[in-house]
C-alpha cells in the first residue's frame, strides 16, 4: 500500500498537466523577445488555466491572496523555446538496417523518453515532422491527457513520399513488399494521403520533396515529387486547415515547393538566389538544421547510418556540382551553413529547426551557437526559436512570448543569452502552462 502511494506521488510530481491554481514567477531579468530588450525585476502572473494574466515590474505587481511568486530573481527568464523540426520517436542509435527491428509501439516508448528530455531542455513546444505510422500522435495525445511529460506538440504522422523516395523505406528487396505508409504517387493519390493522415491525427503535413541524406538509393539534390504533386498536397492541406512542411535539400525542389504554396522548407541546403527571392516573395519559412551535420560526421557510422549517407553528407553529388562548379567537393553541411548565412542576410523568414533524432534529443539548444557563428545575432536566433517559430506553427497567440493571454511557458537560465547564447544549452528552470517541469535555480 505504502509502495503504491509512493508510486502515485512520484507519478503526480512527474506529470505536469498545467497549473491547477493561479501563480506567479519573479524574474531577475526577463527577455522581451519581441522588442529584443532585457527587462529587470519582473513578475509574471498566471491564472488557474496556466494562462498569463499580467507581466510587469515586481514593485507594482498586484498578487492575488495566497500567491507567492517562484523566486527566479537570480536568473534570466525567456519564453519556452520552440523547435519546428523534430523526430521525437527516433533515436540516432537506430539508423539504417538497425531501425528495421524496431516496432511502432517501441518507437512510441522512445518518444515518451525523448518528449521528457526535450521539455526538460527548455523546449516547451515542438513540431514533429515525420514518425513511423502514428507514434507521434500517440505521444502528443499522452502529453495532452497529462499521462506523460513533454512539450506541446504539433505532429505530422507519416511523411508523404514518392515510391522509392527519401521518406519511403528502401532497405529491403522486392519480395518483402515493404512500403512506408506515407507513400503516394500522383496528385490525386497525394491528396488522398493528405486526407488520410489528417483522419488519423496529423496537425501538419510533412512531404519529402527531394532526395535526402539518411535514405538509401537517392541523392539530396534530386527532385522527387513533381510540382503538380506538391501543389495538390499544399492545396488539399490548406483546404483542410493544415500547413505543409517540405523536406527539400535540392535547388529545384525548394523552388517547386515554394511555388506550390508550401509553408516551410526543411533543410533548404542547396537553395540558390532565385530560391531565396521566391521565399521572400511568398513569405515561406526557411528552416536550416545547421547543428546536426557535425554529429552525423562524427557519430553517424557508429549510429548505424549507411555508408552512402555519410558520403552524401561529406560530398555534394554530381547534380549539385553543376550548380556549384567553383565549390567542388564541398560538404553538403558546409554548403547548407553558407546558404543559411546568405538567406538570413537576404532577409528571409527563418524558424529554429534542428532535426532532433538525427542527433540526441535534449541537445536541441546546441544549434543556437551555430546560428550565431553563421551570421545571426543571439536575439535573431532566439526570435527564430520563439516568435518566428510560433508564427510558422500558427500559434502566435499561444506561445513564443511572455505576454498576457499566452500560455505561461517560461524558462530561466543563469547568465545573459544576449551576450552568450550558449547559456541556453543549460536551462535551469522550465514551466509549461503554469506547471513547474523543473527548477534548479537555487532560491535566495
Residue number, 51 or 132, with CB nearest to Zn ion: 132
> What is the footprint of Zn ion within residues 56-95 (CB under 5 A)?
none
User: Smallest gap, in angstroms, from Cβ of residue 130 to Zn ion?
Assistant: 6
Reduce the secondary structure of the chain to three states and give it as a string.
CHHHHHHHHHHHHHCCCCCCCCEEEEEEEEEECCCCEEEEEEEEEECCCCEEEEEEEHHHCCCCCCCCCEEEEEEEEEECEEEEEECCCCCCCCCHHHHHHCCHHHHHHHHHHHHHHHHHCCEEEEEECCCCCCHHHHHHHHHHCCCCCCCEEEECCCCEECCCCCCCCCCCCHHHCCCCCCECCCHHHHHHHHHHHHHCCCCEEEEECECCCCCCCCCCCCECCCHHHHHHHHHHHHHCCCEEEEEECCHHHHHHHHHCCCCEEEECCCCCHHHHHHHHHHCCEEECCCCHHHHHHHHCCCCCCCHHHHHHHHCCCHHHHHHCHHHCCCCHHHHHHHHHHHHHHCCCEECCCCCECCCCCCCCCHHHHHHHHCCCCHHHHHHHCCHHHHHHHCCCCCCCCCCCCCECCEEEECCCCCCCHHHHHCCCEEEECCEEEEECCCCC
Residue number, 46 or 359, with CB nearest to Zn ion: 359
User: Smallest gap, in angstroms, from Cβ of residue 264 to Zn ion?
Assistant: 12
Query: Which of 107, 149, 355, 409 is in the footprint of Zn ion by CB under 5 A?
Result: 355
Q: Which stretch binds Zn ion (CB under 5 A): 228-236, 328-336, 348-356, 364-372?
A: 348-356
User: Smallest gap, in angstroms, from Cβ of residue 202 to Zn ion?
Assistant: 15
Residue number, 236 or 287, with CB nearest to Zn ion: 287
Q: Which stretch binds Zn ion (CB under 5 A): 2-10, 89-97, 354-362, 434-442?
A: 354-362
Maximum alpha-carbon separation in the chain: 72
Q: Which stretch binds Zn ion (CB under 5 A): 3-11, 47-55, 211-219, 353-361?
A: 353-361
Residue number, 167 or 435, with CB nearest to Zn ion: 167
User: Smallest gap, in angstroms, from Cβ of residue 64 to Zn ion?
Assistant: 44
Residue number, 263 or 355, with CB nearest to Zn ion: 355
User: Smallest gap, in angstroms, from Cβ of residue 325 to Zn ion?
Assistant: 29
User: Smallest gap, in angstroms, from Cβ of residue 85 to Zn ion?
Assistant: 6
User: Smallest gap, in angstroms, from Cβ of residue 355 to Zn ion?
Assistant: 4
Q: Which stretch binds Zn ion (CB under 5 A): 101-109, 153-161, 271-279, 351-359?
A: 351-359
Site size with Zn ion, rule: CB under 5 A: 1
Residue number, 42 or 253, with CB nearest to Zn ion: 253
- Residue identified by cell 500547413 is 243
User: Smallest gap, in angstroms, from Cβ of residue 289 to Zn ion?
Assistant: 7
Q: Which stretch binds Zn ion (CB under 5 A): 21-29, 155-163, 192-200, 350-358?
A: 350-358
Residues in the chain, total: 444
Residue number, 91 or 355, with CB nearest to Zn ion: 355
Query: Which residue number places its CB atom closest to Zn ion?
Result: 355
User: Smallest gap, in angstroms, from Cβ of residue 215 to Zn ion?
Assistant: 11
Q: Which stretch binds Zn ion (CB under 5 A): 21-29, 119-127, 224-232, 355-363?
A: 355-363
Residue number, 218 or 355, with CB nearest to Zn ion: 355
Contacting residues toward Zn ion, per CB under 5 A: 355
Amino acid at each position: 500500500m505504502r509502495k503504491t502511494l509512493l508510486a502515485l506521488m512520484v507519478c503526480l510530481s512527474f506529470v505536469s498537466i498545467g497549473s491547477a491554481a493561479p501563480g506567479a514567477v519573479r524574474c531577475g531579468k526577463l527577455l522581451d523577445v519581441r522588442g529584443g530588450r532585457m527587462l529587470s525585476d519582473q513578475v509574471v502572473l498566471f491564472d488557474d488555466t496556466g494562462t498569463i494574466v499580467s507581466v510587469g515590474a515586481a514593485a507594482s505587481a498586484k498578487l492575488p491572496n495566497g500567491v507567492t511568486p517562484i523566486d527566479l530573481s537570480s536568473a534570466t527568464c525567456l519564453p519556452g523555446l520552440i523547435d519546428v523540426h523534430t523526430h521525437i520517436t527516433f533515436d540516432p542509435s537506430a539508423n539504417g538496417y538497425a531501425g528495421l527491428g524496431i516496432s511502432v509501439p517501441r518507437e512510441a516508448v522512445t518518444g515518451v523518453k525523448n518528449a521528457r528530455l526535450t521539455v526538460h531542455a527548455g523546449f516547451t513546444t515542438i513540431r514533429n515532422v515525420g514518425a513511423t505510422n502514428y507514434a507521434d500522435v500517440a505521444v502528443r495525445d499522452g502529453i495532452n491527457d497529462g499521462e506523460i511529460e513533454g512539450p506541446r506538440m504539433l505532429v505530422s504522422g507519416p511523411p508523404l513520399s514518392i515510391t522509392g523516395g527519401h521518406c519511403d523505406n528502401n532497405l529491403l528487396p522486392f519480395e518483402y513488399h515493404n512500403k512506408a505508409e506515407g507513400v503516394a504517387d500522383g496528385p490525386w493519390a497525394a491528396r488522398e494521403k493528405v486526407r488520410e493522415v489528417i483522419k488519423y491525427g496529423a496537425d501538419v503535413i510533412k512531404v519529402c520533396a527531394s532526395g535526402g541524406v539518411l535514405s538509401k538509393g537517392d541523392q539530396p539534390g534530386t527532385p522527387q515529387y513533381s510540382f503538380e504533386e506538391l501543389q495538390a498536397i499544399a492545396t488539399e492541406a490548406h483546404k483542410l486547415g493544415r500547413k505543409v512542411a517540405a523536406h527539400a535539400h535540392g535547388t529545384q525542389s525548394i523552388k517547386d515547393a515554394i511555388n506550390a504554396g508550401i509553408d516551410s522548407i526543411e533543410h533548404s541546403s542547396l537553395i540558390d538566389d532565385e530560391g531565396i527571392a521566391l521565399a521572400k516573395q511568398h513569405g515561406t519559412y526557411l528552416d536550416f538544421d545547421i547543428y546536426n551535420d557535425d554529429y552525423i560526421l562524427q557519430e553517424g557510422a557508429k549510429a548505424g547510418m549507411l555508408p552512402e549517407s555519410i558520403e552524401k553528407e561529406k560530398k555534394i553529388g554530381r547534380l549539385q556540382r553543376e550548380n556549384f562548379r567553383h565549390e567542388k567537393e564541398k560538404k553538403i553541411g558546409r554548403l547548407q551553413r553558407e546558404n543559411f548565412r546568405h538567406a538570413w542576410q537576404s532577409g528571409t523568414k527563418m524558424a529554429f529547426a534542428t532535426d532532433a533524432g538525427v542527433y540526441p534529443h535534449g541537445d536541441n539548444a546546441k544549434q543556437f551557437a551555430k546560428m550565431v557563428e553563421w551570421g545571426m545575432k543571439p536575439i535573431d536566433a532566439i526570435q527564430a526559436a520563439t516568435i518566428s517559430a510560433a508564427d510558422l506553427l500558427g500559434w502566435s497567440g499561444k506561445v513564443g512570448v511572455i505576454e498576457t493571454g499566452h500560455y505561461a511557458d517560461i524558462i530561466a537560465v543563469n547568465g545573459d543569452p544576449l551576450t552568450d547564447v550558449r547559456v541556453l544549452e543549460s536551462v535551469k528552470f522550465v514551466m509549461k502552462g503554469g506547471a513547474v517541469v523543473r527548477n534548479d535555480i537555487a532560491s535566495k
